[in-house]
Each structure stands twice: as structure tokens, then as C-alpha cells.
Amino acid sequence: MIELYTAETPNGHKASIALEEMGLDYEVHHIDLSEGEQKEDWYLEINPNGRIPAIIDQDADDHRVFESGAILMYLADKTGQLLPDDSLERSRVVQWLMFQMAGVGPMQGQAHVFLHYAPETIDYAIERYQKETRRLYGVLEEQLEERDYLVDDYSIADIATYPWVRFHNWAGIPLDNFPHLDEWCDRMFERPAVQRGLDVPVPLEEMEDVSDEEAEELGRNITI
């Protein structure tokens, strides 16, 4: 059994989608970001960084894993799914996983924050982060031009990237100029496990406006 500590953010959805895709039994603990639950001492013992998501693997002596990319790799290795055994193929998947972690998440997250939550409008910051997000989308667009998924076969790289790209409108970046990326988004959402994962910990239709704390989580480059 996996214990999942999460909230309704892109980083949280990475873990829940992976758990659904891999068919693992898991128990959800909804971390209330608006109440600062992620900063409480009990949770810091699970994730010293005080962010979501985190997991505890009860079947592995309560092994704890934080950072969403590390969680995806751990679950893939645990199940033998969505991350190739071949070293070269594995490297290709990990490269695109790191591309999301180091690029798409931080840049798009900052676009979210400066566009919606900065105490004053800073046009330079908005333009900077939107421009860089568009550039990263262009890299994804080219990669998807001749393949259905980022590394041919569906993998944890797709799972890591989709929850962020699906928020493209929130960052003020339509996908009109990225048709292959747009088709990939549709392809991802058609997967039943992806839909189930997006309903954790709160069903999509019940989600209210993003709180300031959730916005901070969207904008932080710590748990991506």
C-alpha cells in the first residue's frame, strides 16, 4: 500500500496519475495548503521540504519519497512500468522528465504567479516567463511532431509534463501555434487513468478557484 500526501496541483497530479496508471493500491491524504498543513512538524518528517506530493511505501519498511520526479522514478522502478530497463531508452525518458522538472514546471509556474498573484503587475516578469514557456512548448511541439508520446512509448515523462501543460491557459499561453502539443494533450486526457488521477484528491468538477497557497505551489520550482 502506498500512502499519498497530495493536493490538487500539477505536481500532486503527477503522483496520482502514475499510481492510477500503474494500478497500485494507495491511500490519499489530502494536504490542505490553505491551512499550511504542509509546514506542520508531522508532515516535515515525511517531506523536510514542506511541499507536496510525498509518498510512504508501506510495503518497503515505510520508505518515504518526496519530490515528484523522484516519486515517479521510484514507482516506475517498483512496478517495472513506464520507464524502460534498457539503459539508453531509460536515459531518453529521464532526459524528458528532467526537461519538465527543470524547465516547464519552473518557468510556467512563474508565469502563473506573475500573471495572477504578484502584488503589482510586472510586465517584464510576465513577458519573460511567458516567452520562455512558449519556447519550451516549442521544444515539446517539435518532439511530438512524429510521435504520439514524448519518447515514442508512453512513459513517466508524459505523466510529469501533462499536468503542467494542461494549465497553459492559466499561464496565458494558448496552444494555437502548437498543434502537435495540443493533440498530445487530448491524447493524454483520453486515458482513463489520467482522468482518475486528475480527480485526486478533489474531483475536477468540485475544484474551486485556486487559493493563494495553491498558486504559490504552482509557481514554486521546488517540488517539480
pLDDT given at position 209? 52
Facing residues of 103 across strands? none
In a domain, 158, yes or no: yes
pLDDT given at position 67? 98
In a domain, 221, yes or no: no
Q: What is the pLDDT along the chain (224 residues), one digit of tens a residue?
A: 999 999 999 999 999 999 999 999 999 999 999 999 999 999 999 999 999 999 999 999 999 999 999 999 999 999 999 999 999 999 999 999 999 999 999 999 999 999 999 999 999 999 999 999 999 999 999 999 999 999 999 999 999 999 999 999 999 999 999 999 999 999 999 999 999 999 999 997 776 555 555 555 544 432 32
Among 55, 81, 107, residue at a domain's last position? 81
Domain at 53, CATH number: 3.40.30.10
Contact (CB, 8 A) for 58 and 1: yes
**Residues 163, 114: one domain?**
yes
In a domain, 100, yes or no: yes
User: Which range marks the domain in which residue 36 is found?
Assistant: 2-81
CA 114/CA 78 separation, integer angstroms? 38
Nearest by Cα to 218 from 80, 51, 88, 1: 51
Among 81, 98, 119, residue at a domain's last position? 81
**Residues 37, 130: one domain?**
no
Among 50, 81, 112, residue at a domain's last position? 81
**Residues 35, 59: one domain?**
yes
Name the DSSP letter for residue 108: H
Neighbours of 100 (CB within 10 A): 30
Cell of 172: 496565458
**Residues 35, 101: one domain?**
no
